[in-house]
Structure 1
């Protein structure tokens, strides 16, 4: 079976190896058809992505040419007899058909959705495993080798947001499983890349506290307070202040039930398209 990858570089994956379409505009057409797989993508949408507000006078012919090259690539690289049915011309645009397991973004969405169901049923270990599997599908930023225009740009933002939400949910499941010490290093790494993300700061402080590292947890709070004041002129959120109070007073760190964790992390993974 051929497979398609958008969670990282755009690729067509075949038994013979991976292939990246040539030509920036052919890659854009391919990416847009994949991210709206099994839906008709009209010519106006393709035009908006390819040329923004400055389409050529021969726009219809040019779009047809890019689709033609995409079809030739699929035929040449996939070596399957169903390419004619894979990418079809419709009255208003084009339709790329994919099976449920062919597109990595679809598999990612399904795994996260399944993990949420498991978490709602208090099957935390199984949920954590599926979330790790889902996040393991990512090979870098979405469509890393595509110069996304304003249409694809919205899809990329959406996919990256889903990735962040899935990562947060996986961290929450690991907290429920008592993996606090293991999370400290990971959260420090995430904060090196996202220094102003208060959610990551809160979970680092909480992980340190639950690991018995009370002094480091309080120091992490003060580091955040100084950072927010210096960069944004803001104080940490009320939640973080409550967390600091818990640590100072020796209040046991709160461990929320799985259903409360799920309610606080709205990951609508099915909305990838």
Structure 2
């Protein structure tokens, strides 16, 4: 079975999609898919599907959706003797239901495995002692390549799936920043400048992105634009949040003003006030 949520929902059995067109069964399948192999309790299903406004007899409605999903599974798989059927693939447990498929290929697990390996190579995991920016950039780029679009792109999401989407988006953001940091360490400031500028525009409060952009601009001989990037961030923080940029970013600003020679090679750790590269 193929399971993917990093973009439009994908649940395929033997190459055949079992994703329903109706919104609520699709939403329920998305929740079961992102928890494949783990039981999702009835209370969680009801919270996701209806939040705090469930219908009368929500368990019966959930059972109706389960029947629809099992019919889709039955239509997608030619069950040989002894192989699990629809009721085994979508199994009722003590408190809810489990999408219990043998050896599924799960997109989020591929992303997590590649991301963890890349972050270790970048020296960003306590368990890893790597300092190989080339390997880190390669692995992190592969992790980001698993994504096909926004999480649950074609699924109506309730509170449970929204929380899961936020978790996955935060993980992607960490990987993206680590990959661009590795690229900067490898001297690829010109190649990633456009991407950094676009991301800083999309995420105006992400200080790490702005710090990386400022360094890339400086290394491309555009100090004035690096200073302008700081000025815009400072104005946005003051206007929208009533705060100043962090002391770390202000020290980076001062380093650019003074043409600190460390900006041309490697940067020290956070305690010295620059950027981890």
TM (norm. structure 2) is 0.84
Match of 2:190 in 1: 181
Match of 2:206 in 1: 197
The unaligned stretches of length 5 or more in structure 2 are 124-129
Q: 2:258 aligns with which of 231, 249, 252?
A: 249
| Aligned equivalents of 1:124, 1:99: Cα separation in 2 | 36
| Aligned equivalents of 2:250, 2:103: Cα separation in 1 | 45
Structure 1 stretches of 4+ moved >4 Å: 14-19, 78-81, 98-101
Change (3 A) 1:126 1:9: same
Query: Superposed, which structure 2 residues align to 1:52-201 within 5 Å?
Result: 52-79=51-78, 82-84=84-86, 85-98=88-101, 102-120=105-123, 121-201=130-210
Asked if 2 retains the 8 angstrom alpha-carbon contact of 1:214 and 1:247, the reply is: yes
The farther-off stretch of 181-190 and 116-125 is: 116-125
| Aligned equivalents of 2:112, 2:25: Cα separation in 1 | 25
Change (3 A) 1:60 1:175: same
Match of 2:41 in 1: 42
Change (3 A) 1:204 1:80: farther
| Aligned equivalents of 1:48, 1:14: Cα separation in 2 | 27
| Aligned equivalents of 1:240, 1:181: Cα separation in 2 | 21
Match of 2:20 in 1: 21
| Aligned equivalents of 2:77, 2:219: Cα separation in 1 | 51
| Aligned equivalents of 1:135, 1:50: Cα separation in 2 | 29
| Aligned equivalents of 2:104, 2:18: Cα separation in 1 | 18
Change (3 A) 1:189 1:147: same
Asked if 1 retains the 8 angstrom alpha-carbon contact of 2:18 and 2:72, the reply is: no
User: What is the Cα deviation at residue 232 of structure 1?
Assistant: 3.5
| Aligned equivalents of 1:60, 1:257: Cα separation in 2 | 57
- State the SS of the aligned residue for 2:183: helix
| Aligned equivalents of 1:257, 1:98: Cα separation in 2 | 48
| Aligned equivalents of 1:200, 1:240: Cα separation in 2 | 11
The aligned length equals: 260
| Aligned equivalents of 2:268, 2:36: Cα separation in 1 | 37
Match of 2:32 in 1: 33
User: What is the Cα deviation at residue 219 of structure 1?
Assistant: 2.5
| Aligned equivalents of 2:7, 2:14: Cα separation in 1 | 19
RMSD: 2.5
The unaligned stretches of length 5 or more in structure 1 are 266-273
- State the SS of the aligned residue for 1:88: strand
Match of 1:208 in 2: 217
Q: 2:236 aligns with which of 213, 227, 232?
A: 227
1:9 aligns with 2:8: yes
User: 1:66-99: CA deviations, max 9, x gaps?
Assistant: 1111122123235565443322111221111356
Asked if 1 retains the 8 angstrom alpha-carbon contact of 2:119 and 2:175, the reply is: no
The farther-off stretch of 108-117 and 51-60 is: 51-60
